Amino acid sequence: MTGVSDQNDPGGLIRAATVTALYVIAVLIAAASAVSFAESYRGLQDWARGHDLHGAWAAAWPLQVDVFIAVGELALFIALANSWPGRSRLAAWAVTLAGLAVSVAGNVGHVAGHSLSARCTAAVPPLAAAAALAVGLGILKRVVAGGETLAVPARTAPPSSSEDAARMAYAASVAGGNPLAERALCDRFGVSRRTAQKIRAPKDAAVAAEPSPGLPATAALNGGRRA
C-alpha cells in the first residue's frame, strides 16, 4: 500500500505555511497592541497627574480614553467576522477614531518639551495600536472573502489492523479502476480468504447487479430472457 506524503504535496505545504504565517501575524499584532496600550496608558497617566488628578483617580483616568479604542476594535472585529453591512460599522469606527484622537492628544500633551521629535515619539503608542488594528482587519477581510480556513487539514488515521489496511488498499484500488483480487488481499495483508471475500463483497454485488452487455436492459430485468 502506498500513499502520498505531505512532502510530495505542494498544495498541503502551502496551506500549512499560510496557516502558520497567519498565527504568527496574529501573535505579533496582539503583542504590538499590548505594548502600545501600555505605553499609551503611561503617557495618559502622566497627563492626568499634571492636571490635578492623583492616586487611584490618575490611574483610572487613562482607562476612560483607551477603553473606547479597545471597544471599537472588538466591535469592528465582530462586525467584519460576521459580515455586517458597512452602515452598521459606522458607530464602531466613530468610537475607535474618537478614542484614538483623544489618546493621541493626551499622549502628546503630557510631553514637557516642545520639540517635534519628542511630540512625535509620544504620539507613536496610540498610532501603533491603530496601525496594528488596520493590518489585522485587512488580513481578516481577505481571509474571509477568500474562504480561507485557519485549520490544518486533518490527516488520515493509520490502519489499526491488517483488515483495516486491506480495506483501505482495496478502496483505493477500486477508486483507481483496478480492484485488488481476493488472493492479492490475502497475500499482501495476511488476511483470511473469508475476510477478503467480505471486503470485496460490495464490489462483487455491484458487478453481479449490472446487466450483461449482450442483453437488453429489459431482458436483464426478466432473468436474461428475451421478449
Q: Is the pLDDT of residue 139 over 60?
A: yes
Alpha-carbon span 111 to 118, nearest angstrom: 7
Q: What percent of the chain has pLDDT over 90?
A: 0
Please give the sequence-ordered ranges of beta strands (E in DSSP) within the chain, or none if there are none.
none
Give residue-wise pLDDT tens across range 35-81: 888 888 888 888 888 888 888 898 888 888 888 888 887 888 788 77
DSSP 51: T
DSSP 8-state code for residue 155: P
pLDDT given for residue 129 in this prediction? 79
Provide the pLDDT confidence category of residue 224 given band limits of 50, 70 and 90: very low
| CB-CB neighbours of 106 under 10 Å | 23
| 64 close to 81: Cβ distance less than 8 angstroms | no
Residue entry with cell 472573502: 145
HSE-up of 103 (CA within 13 Å, CB side)? 30
Which are the contacts of 157, defined by CB distance < 8 A and separation ≥ 6? none
Residues 6+ apart with CB under 8 A from 47: 61, 106, 107, 109, 110
- pLDDT score of 107: 87
110 neighbors 43 (Cβ within 8 angstroms): yes
Comparing C-alpha atoms, which of 57, 71, 63 is closest to residue 40? 63
Q: How many CB atoms lie within 10 A of CB 74?
A: 12
Cβ atoms of residues 199 and 180 within 8 Å: no
Give the whole-angstrom CA distance, residue 28 versus residue 33: 8
